[in-house]
Structure formats: structure tokens, C-alpha cells
Amino acid sequence: MTSTPKRLLIAASGTGGHLFPAIATASQLTSGPAEVEIEWLGVPDRLETQLVPRQYPLHTIKVQGFQKPLGLNTFRTAGRLVAAILEVRRLLKTQKFDGVLTTGGYIAGPSILAARSLGLPTILHESNALPGKVTRWLSPWCSQVAIGFDAAASYLPKAVTFCVGTPVRPEFYPPVTAA
């Protein structure tokens, strides 16, 4: 009897610090014994449009972080955030995803909130010892938060954390030598 593969949406965008751990995780998930289908959520014209491996279908949404000082642009950004949440929610429903994995940054916001509104499990991975703003604000809304350093847990008191380190792509594994 063949089981139905789990469908996972990975939301990772922007910098290598968010993108490369997500790519490493996707590689491990698809090379292991579990059947996992992965699709990607990113932002147009960002690094992921060039670097995410082609085997992962790429969806993009327009989203940006809030800037200081607060002003008229804050209201525009808030409106875009609401639109992004609705767009991700629609994607999660129509494509029948089983869960979301994100690595923080401003794409994590709409992804976490949309998944939460649908009751889907969400894992947030934070590679930094000092978690970013989105991670600190939204970690309580996630099913679990994977952290790269034990020290990060003290900044996330309302989150369910577990330390896994930072995922590394296989091409960076040390060579195996005979003993």
C-alpha cells in the first residue's frame, strides 16, 4: 500500500541566511525515506527566484517589512500584509498543503498567520542566537520552533522550541576519510 506524500510549503526568501538553511532542509526531506512533496514560497525578484532548485515549484507573493518611522507607508505595508495573508491562505487551501516550514524574515509573517488560520502545523527555523523580530513576535503561533542555538530559546519564552543547529547543504559536509 502506497501512502500519500505529505505536501509542504517552504516559505523562505531574501537573504542567504534565510534561504540556504531552507534549501538544505528541503534537500534532506526529499532524499530521505519519507515521501514529501515540496513547493516554495518566495518574493518576486529576490534571491530565491535564482537559487531555489527547479524541482520545487516556486510561488511568489509581494510582501515587505515594516519600516521606521511610522507613517503613511506603514498603512500601505499593513494593507499588503493582509493581502499576502489572504493569498497564502488561498494557496494553502487550493494546493492542499499539509504544513508550512519557514526560516523567518518578512515572508514568514503571512505564511505563519495563514497556516494558523487553517489549523495547519507550522515549523519556524531560527538559525540565529538572537532571534529576529518576526520570529520573536510570531513564534507562539507556530507548532514548533527549531533553533540553531540553545541560547535562542530564552528569547522565545512562549514558543515550543527544540535545538537542531543550522541545516547545511550536502556540498559543505566534510569529506569522509578512512580511519
Residue 101's beta-bridge partner residues?
Answer: 10, 123
pLDDT tens-digit map of 59-116: 998 877 666 666 667 677 777 888 899 999 999 999 999 999 999 888 899 999 999 9
Tally Cβ neighbours within 10 Å of residue 5. 13
Domain ranges within the chain, ordered by starting residue? 6-172
pLDDT tens-digit map of 9-38: 999 987 777 888 999 899 888 887 778 999
Tally Cβ neighbours within 10 Å of residue 77. 16
Rounded-to-10 torsion of CA 25, 169, 43, 49 = -130
Q: What is the pTM of this model?
A: 0.86
Q: How far apart are CA 167 and CA 81, in angstroms?
A: 28
Query: Could you give the 3-state DSSP secondary structure of residue 24?
Result: helix
Q: How far apart are CA 138 and CA 115, in angstroms?
A: 12
What mean pLDDT value characterizes the chain? Answer: 87
Q: Are 124 and 103 in contact (CB under 8 A)?
A: yes
What cell numbers appear for 90 in the block?
488561498
Given the DSSP bridges, would you call strands 36-42 and 6-11 parallel, antiparallel or unpaired? parallel
Q: Which CATH number fits domain 6-172: 1.10.3720.10, 3.40.640.10, 3.30.930.10, 3.40.50.2000?
A: 3.40.50.2000
| 8-state DSSP, 58 | E
